[in-house]
Chains A and B, each alone.
Chain A
Amino acid sequence: MDRNSTGLVFVLPALIVLAMLIAYPVAYTGLLSVTDRQGEFVGLANFRAVLSARATPQAFWNTIWFVGGSIVFQVILGTATAILLNQSFFGRGIVRSITLIPWVVPGIVAATTWAWMFHTEFGIINYMMTGTGMIPEPIGWLTNGNTVMPVLIAINVWKLFPFVAIMVLAGLQSIPKDLYEAARVDGANFWQEVRFIMIPQVRSVIVAVTLLLVIWGLNSITIIYAITRGGPANRTLITPIQIFRLAFESTQFNQAAALSVIFFAVALVIVIIYIRALASTPGEAK
């Protein structure tokens, strides 16, 4: 045995465990997607059934909206917060800790609390807004087709921007001081420092965090399911919730598996395009 294959023997146990934990569920989902309840092969019937459902395209567009809308604001707000928290000011430690709270609160707790705050009759948001005369009568935040998705995106942004902030802050702190000093000697102001030093230096962090946010966004169920269950009339139904509903509410495990396979393929394409686009960008900080 040469060195290489000896190494392979050593990693074999870990590989077997990984295969059982990752490959088995993936393969089993694939198998479920082409069989019926009795385990008989049915070809693409499950795929046809889920693709012909009216909810499927709607859920797909909702997913794009929800994930895209969330990520844009999470990254912008997170990066801005990181730059702010990187400055030295009185009470910075406390502000840094407070910023983390949304991320630390369990998703289901946050979702339930927000659902109550946005409730038409009992919610504190309508109470305060009607009390101060900002709006004449209560708004159905979660029942109006035009407001429900933006509200859910806002809650999701609130939940995850601290994560972006902390990651970017860590990146900012690894920037050598001499870069700033050199810039100041050249007469750069604060905005120029942000634009030409901070952002380029933490670009790789933002890229990695965004990829994580995409993956999490495509898998997120908790917030929407706990608040609207995908309603009203599927306005906030995203594909992961549709899969969950098919499997655990309708006991259509085979159709759920078929939808998962489709979703997996789409997600894979998105991630590959994203990584390709990055790999081809020149001048990335390594």
Chain B
Amino acid sequence: MKFSKLAVMATAMTMLASGVALAGEVVWWTPNFNEARARELVTKFEQANQGIKVKLEITTTDGLPQRVLTALQSGAAPDIIDVQHAWVNGYAQNGLVVAVDDVLKDREDYIPASLDYGTWNSKLWAIPYRIETHAVIYNKGAFRDAGLDPAKPPQTWDELVAAAKTLSKGKVSGFAITGGGEVGNTIFRSLPFIWMNGGDIISADGKKAVVNQPAAVAAVKFYTDFFKNKQSPASTLENDGTANRRLFIAETVAAYQSGQFDVASIRKENPKIDIGVMPIPHPAGKPTAALLGGWSFVIPSSAKNPAEAKKLVAFLAEAPNQGALTDTFPARKSAMSLPRFSDPILTVFKEMLPYGRAVPNNKNWVQITQAYFDGIQRILLGDEDVQKAMDGAAKDIQALLDQK
């Protein structure tokens, strides 16, 4: 008798402990910057879908890739996770998320590059809802002080180099690049230069490392020379995008590449700065390019309520809801006409979107970028010249591509 009582109690305890997510309750992990807007959308969704409860869990971006991966691998994942586009392919190839082709509606309304990220094995594994690219943010006051016309920012590489040279005076660095922090920071900022010069890190068929070809080497030289020529701060090797923004706010950096999310914090922390935005300068006669970033929804294979999760994702993917949730731009063109995207400071960022490209879907992409980034750091440290560093990176990358 006693034993059966114990068993009942133990079962009840286990259910209490593991039953945090009740049947029909969809658990959605979203980053902290989405919290307020996500709550509004959840309320709307719950009103329209009686019987489905949504539980929001707020994540932070620092360390998020590791946290998501651990949750997916352990099988104790939520029902929906907000992840960056570039992470999706790794999950798909490891069978950690489910295909969502049946959730996608109005395919032609999406910016194509945003769907490229989530595609593998001719299936779609994530629904993109937020996209963004970089542009160059510059300090109009610093341009005036240096005798440059802030209304006519540089358009080509040569003009940017000349402007950076003129702007670098005393404590001010003309054009800050990144060389530290997480690898993605430097990929986001230097890969577009390689692309617009006609190069790439790996060939289109994913079989050959081409980062040591002349087009890529010239672009890497262009990028790293800003540091070599002391136009990027002395701390470049430890600076990521956030550090550059801080230096820009402190008015020791006159221009740097970033997304529109930086504008609000610059305005708040140093309202004196007259912010200008220019498209990323390109080689004369060639179009500009940018790396398309942003966020998608994935549904883990181990989700407890995949059917309800798909319903919520379909709801969030509707154009007005994408427009409401995104911190930058929505992945759907029709949502772009919402009034919140008409602020004039956003014009250039919006103009950059069509030039946005997806990174290749290679299962070893993170290691490939690490090998490339190590090469960049060797150049910045002065260990190796550009050609030698990129030859070394190409060798490492080729070994990764040759792996089965």
Contact across chains for A142 and B90 when beta carbons are under 8 A apart: no
- Min CB distance A188 to B, Å, is 52
The number of chain A residues touching the other chain, given as a range, is 20 to 34
- Min CB distance A237 to B, Å, is 9
Q: A120-B235, A142-B238 are in contact. Are A54 and B366 (CB under 8 A)?
A: no
B247 partner, pick from A45, A52, A121, A235, beta carbons under 8 A: A121
* Residue interface mask A32-75, B partner, CB < 8 A = 1: 00001100000001000100111100000000000000000000
- Min CB distance B218 to A, Å, is 21
Give the complex CA separation of A53 and B367 in angstroms. Answer: 11
Which residue of chain A is the closest to B234 with respect to CB atoms?
Answer: A120
Contact across chains for B377 and A232 when beta carbons are under 8 A apart: yes
- Min CB distance B96 to A, Å, is 9
* Residue interface mask A82-119, B partner, CB < 8 A = 1: 00000000000000000000000000000000000001
* Residue interface mask A229-265, B partner, CB < 8 A = 1: 1011111000000000110111111000000000000
Which residue of chain A is the closest to B375 with respect to CB atoms?
Answer: A233
Residues of A within 8 A of B381 (CB): 143-145, 232-233, 235
Which residue of chain B is the closest to A38 with respect to CB atoms?
Answer: B95
- Min CB distance B71 to A, Å, is 12
The B contact surface, by secondary structure, is: helix
Is A140 interfacial (CB-CB < 8 Å)?
yes
Give the complex CA separation of A278 and B404 in angstroms. Answer: 46
Which residues of A (184-214) have their CB < 8 Å from a CB of B? none
Give the complex CA separation of A245 and B364 in angstroms. Answer: 12
- Min CB distance B353 to A, Å, is 28
Give the complex CA separation of A143 and B234 in angstroms. Answer: 9
Contact across chains for B252 and A49 when beta carbons are under 8 A apart: no
- Min CB distance A187 to B, Å, is 57
* Residue interface mask B354-381, A partner, CB < 8 A = 1: 0000000000101100100010011011
Residues of A within 8 A of B403 (CB): 49
B383 partner, pick from A137, A233, A251, beta carbons under 8 A: A233
A53 partner, pick from B90, B182, B396, beta carbons under 8 A: B396
Tell me which of B234, B247, B383, B395 has the highest count of chain A C-beta atoms within 10 A of its own C-beta.
B234
Give the complex CA separation of A54 and B370 in angstroms. Answer: 12
Is A150 interfacial (CB-CB < 8 Å)?
no
Interface-located stretch among B62-70, B157-165, B269-277? B62-70
Give the complex CA separation of A248 and B67 in angstroms. Answer: 9
Contact across chains for B377 and A231 when beta carbons are under 8 A apart: yes
B179 partner, pick from A36, A137, A228, A232, beta carbons under 8 A: A232
- Min CB distance B92 to A, Å, is 11
- Min CB distance A236 to B, Å, is 11
Contact across chains for B233 and A232 when beta carbons are under 8 A apart: no
Residues of A within 8 A of B65 (CB): 248-249
Name 23 interchain pairs, CB-CB below 8 A, sorted by A.
A49-B399, A49-B403, A52-B399, A54-B396, A121-B233, A121-B252, A122-B246, A142-B237, A143-B381, A145-B381, A229-B182, A232-B179, A232-B377, A233-B383, A235-B381, A248-B66, A248-B70, A250-B366, A250-B370, A251-B69, A251-B94, A252-B367, A253-B73
Other A-B contacts than A120-B238, A250-B367, A253-B73, 16 sampled, CB-CB below 8 A, are A36-B404, A37-B94, A45-B404, A54-B392, A121-B233, A231-B374, A231-B377, A232-B179, A232-B377, A232-B380, A233-B374, A233-B377, A234-B374, A248-B70, A251-B69, A252-B367
List the 6 shortest-distance A-B pairs measured between CB atoms, nearest first.
A143-B237, A120-B235, A233-B377, A248-B66, A232-B377, A250-B366
